[in-house]
Structure formats: C-alpha cells, structure tokens
Amino acid sequence: MVSIDPISTESISRAVDLLRAGQLVAFPTETVYGLGGDATNNRAIAEIFAAKNRPDFNPLIVHVAHKAAAEKIGQFTKIAHALADQFWPGALSIILRKTSNCTISALASAGLDSLAIRVPGHDFARSLIEQTCHPIAAPSANASGRLSPTTAQHVADQLGDKIPLILDGGPCTIGVESTVLDLTKEAPTLLRPGGISVETIEQHLNMRISTSAPRNGTFKSPGMLTSHYAPARPLRLNAHNVEPGEALLGFGPGGTGATLNLSESSNLTEAAANLFAYLHRLDAAPHQAIAVMPLPEEGLGRAINDRLRRAAA
C-alpha cells in the first residue's frame, strides 16, 4: 500500500533512501507531480515506464537541483546559459546534447544523444534531488494516456498500487507541465508549450522561436520528432534462429545461447533496462547484423517492441 506523506524532513529522507535504492517516489513540483527515479539507474528508469504502462520509450526529463549539476550532463550553449540564468529554477525544460561523460541512463533519453533537463521551482523537489545526490528522471506521475496529476490524491488514484511513496506538497501552483525547448540546433524550437510562455522566452532572448506544431495546432509527442537510436547494423526481428554473421539478442530461457540476453527470466522490466545498452554493444561487436528474439506484446514489451521496430525500420 502506498503511503502519502506530507513533506517533512523525515518524509524527504525516506524518499531519498528509496530513490537511492532504485525505487520510485512521486513528488510535487510547481508544474505537476512527477514520478521520480534515479536517472543514472537503468532499472529504475525501466520501472518508471512499467508503472506508467507507457507503450513507447518517450524520453524523460531529467531534474537537477541547480545549473552546475545540469552542466555535468548537458552541453550548454550560449542560449542555454541565458535561459537557465533567467528561468531556473522554474517551468522550463531545455534539450541539450549530452556531455561525453554523461552518466544518465540511455533508457531515460530513449537512446538519443540529447537530454531534456530542468531545475524545478519547488523548494522541496530541489532538496529531494540535492539530498539524493543523483539527477532524477521524472515524467508526470499519471498512468499513460490519463490526465497529469496536480495533487497527491491524483497520483494515488492512478499509481497507488505501483509505488511505495507519494510526497504530498499540496496542489501544484502551475498545474501544467514545463515548456520544452530544443536547443540542440542553431535555432531554438518549441517542442511543448508549458508553464513559461513562449512569448516570455522570446522577449528575454530577443528572438523568435519556431515551433514544431503543425498547422492544425496539435503538437506531436516531442520525443517522436527526433529519430531514435538505430543500430548501424541491420536488425532482424522475431528471430528464432541465428544466421551466419549475426549476433543474437535473446529474451527468456530460450535465449541462453544468445550473444546477449535481455532477460533470461523473461522479466520485461529487466529487458527494458538492458535494451539500449545491449543494442549499443551488439552494434559495436564484430557482427554484420543483429537478430532479436520475439518479446511479448504486453506491458513494457509493447514499448520494447515499439523501439525495436523503429530501430529495424
């Protein structure tokens, strides 16, 4: 049974212990409640996707306590500095190229070489992150396809049976997600309108910001706009055998002879945690192609298959 604890020194320290142990904690930010996990821990990130029952691995926003921590994981451009100095802590997430020594789980960024980063404007959220001593990946703490939560009760209604702790900080002051700006290209692009208006940002930068929205005004899921990690080697799905020159990415006990096995015990959470790292490894290995054994189209298996199909396309 989930416990809903009002924010206090004690509840934060309990949350810190859980996060350090790779478990998930829902916590308030000024925008919406986030479902937090240690962003450097593949397994914790896989648990986030499992708890939300997300059919794909849309990349997550990594939350840090201050700009200096953000600079360790993302390559700041001039515009990034200007925006972080003005709007952080606050409801702005910026997408930057990863640093070469970035420790963030490949699953958190869905295998992309960029990362969404934000310093939340909620004091307790920042203390939680600071005390955990790790960046915290946190999508909105709702089940996939449902409304974003702005109270602890919303989180409990949707995820209460999946997580041990919800920190209750009362209703969120902003109530919509952060604005997401892509700064990886020359011109900043708005990927998601949010808590800080694009006009305010344009005014501060003294430049126009282009948007990714099509004419009908609906934004595509931003992570889907970018091409995801695809191995250089051809990928063959639903493989039941290995052809000469192929590496086999296995799943389940039937994959014991595989080059690498996503999960010998057929555990989809474990498989998700291993997915991007293993694809990278097999892509670097001396094989001409990668064959992947079938995974069930259920739970996290849907997200894994979605990414494998994209990688094979």
Which residues of this protein are in contact with ligand TXA, per CB under 6 A?
29, 31-32, 34, 58-61, 93, 95, 109, 112, 114-116, 120, 138-140, 177-178, 180, 191-192, 221-223, 226
261 binds, among ligand TXA, Mg ion, none (CB under 5 to 8 A by kind): none
Among ligand TXA, Mg ion, none, residue 115 binds (CB under 5-8 Å by kind): ligand TXA
**Residue 138 binding: pick among ligand TXA, Mg ion, none (C-beta 5-8 Å cut-off by kind):** ligand TXA
Minimum Å distance from CB 96 to ligand TXA? 9
Residues lying near Mg ion in the complex (CB under 5 A):
140
Which entry of Mg ion, ligand TXA, none binds 41, CB below 5 to 8 A by partner kind? none
Q: How far is the CB of 91 from ligand TXA (least distance, A)?
A: 6
Query: Residue 14 or 146: which CB sits closer to Mg ion?
Result: 146
Q: How far is the CB of 293 from ligand TXA (least distance, A)?
A: 28
CA distance 269 to 266: 9
Cα–Cα distance measured from residue 103 to residue 93, given in angstroms and rounded to the nearest whole number: 19
Q: What is d(CA 241, CA 108) in angstroms, rounded to the nearest whole number? A: 31
Nearer to Mg ion, 23 or 140 (CB): 140
C-alpha–C-alpha distance, residues 313 and 310, integer Å: 5
SS3 label, residue 256? coil
Q: How far apart are CA 110 and CA 59, in angstroms?
A: 5
Shortest distance (Å) from residue 183 CB to ligand TXA: 10
Query: Which distant-in-sequence residues (6+ apart) come within 8 Å of 244 by Cβ?
Result: none
**188 interface partner picked from Mg ion, ligand TXA, none, CB below 5 to 8 A per type:** none
Token look-up 């970035």 returns 102
Minimum CB separation of residue 62 from Mg ion in Å reads 14
Name the minimum Å distance from CB 63 to ligand TXA.
Answer: 6
Question: Which residues, in sequence order, are CB contacts of 127 under 8 Å at separation 6+?
Answer: 12, 65
Task: Give the residue with the Cβ less far from ligand TXA, 180 or 292.
Answer: 180
Whose Cβ is closer to Mg ion: residue 140's or residue 305's? 140
State the distance between the two ends of the chain, measured CA to CA, in whole angstroms: 42
Which partner in ligand TXA, Mg ion, none is near 93 (CB below 5 to 8 A by kind)? Answer: ligand TXA
Phi and psi dihedrals of 96, rounded to 5?
-125, 160
Please answer whether residues 255 and 248 qualify as being in contact, where contact means their C-beta atoms are separated by less than 8 angstroms.
Answer: yes
Query: Is the CB of 90 or the CB of 149 nearer to Mg ion?
Result: 149
CB of 220 to Mg ion, least distance (A): 14
> Which residue number has the CB closest to Mg ion?
140
CB 280 within 8 A of CB 106: yes
Residue 161: CB atoms within 10 A of its CB come to 9
**Quick check: 290 and 208 in contact, CB under 8 A?**
no
Look at residues 272, 260, 261 and name the one whose alpha carbon lies nearest to residue 298: 272
Residue 59 or 301 with smaller CB distance to ligand TXA:
59
Element (H, E) at 248: strand 246-250
Instruction: Give 180 or 247: the residue with its C-beta nearer to ligand TXA.
Output: 180
Smallest distance, ligand TXA to C-beta of residue 260, A? 25
DSSP category for residue 53: T
CB-nearer residue toward ligand TXA: 117 or 258? 117
